[in-house]
Chains A and B, each alone.
Chain A
């Protein structure tokens, strides 16, 4: 017979999930150095690197079309023909992190000065 009443043991999966979230959060803590570049990837290949300091715009082609806009030290996907529009909904990014358009395999990554380090594992 299935248990349909909440039991105290159900706290464990929830606590485990929260713990995993906290661990991953620490693992991907943004670097201390300020972000200064935008890297645009598609399916794992680097298409373009743009400085955050100069206003610019870049079109990602592919199954869909994403327009990446750099403005006032911020970056966003301002136009997209993909069905979900999650990349547009991600809004403007100023510090380390990334905006992703999965249907187009595109990733817009804001990175800091050290160009040879992607993430720091501790």
Chain B
């Protein structure tokens, strides 16, 4: 594939991720699971698809660009949270893809869990106390559910994406 095509695909993926992370604010997940701060993690569909189709370098680029652009709307304080959570999740998902046995479902759950771990670590650093980790068990339990859901979505997307969408 030409460099231009690769670059355009990455731009489209970044725009999609940005759109999805904005759109999911309007999904009232709190009505089903009443915990403050939880979300589906729709943008992880894009990160996972990029990881599978383009490889980890491109997935890293798309994730970082999404976080930086997203901070234009969310502010600088949210940048640290999305970057630490996102990068930790991507790192663990990269390791997960090394396993020949795990499917996109299991890797998505790993990503969701480590995204939460990364965000709580950032919160602990910002607040200067480990007390916030008391909230992590609830987030982890929810991440199993959302992780499987995002895994199912990504599995569908990977099946439907044309074969030429590949680095």
Contacts and interface: CB of A to CB of B under 8 A. Distances in A.
Interface string A3-32: 111110111111011101110110010000
B127 A100 contact: yes
A86 B39 CA distance: 12
Interface string B80-106: 010000000000000011010111111
B96 A13 contact: yes
Given A7-B102, A21-B137, A25-B137, A109 B81 contact: no
Interface stretch (B3-11, B16-24, B62-70, B139-147): B139-147
A114 to B, nearest CB: 15
A11 B158 CA distance: 21
Contacts of B102: 3, 7, 9-10, 12-13
B141 A24 contact: no
Interface residues of A, number: 43
Contacts of A45: 128
Contacts of B141: 17-18, 21
B167 interface: no
B75 A43 contact: no
Contact of B144 (A2, A14, A44, A97): A14
A119 interface: yes
B77 interface: yes
A102 B77 contact: yes
B134 A97 contact: yes
B143 to A, nearest CB: 6
Contacts of B129: 41, 44, 107, 118
A106 B136 CA distance: 17
Contacts of A22: 137
A57 B109 CA distance: 41
A56 interface: no
Nearest to B25: A84
Contact of A18 (B97, B101, B136, B140): B140
Interface of B: 30, 36-37, 52, 74-75, 77-78, 81, 96-97, 99, 101-107, 109-110, 113, 123, 126-138, 140-141, 143-144, 147-148, 151, 154-155, 158-159
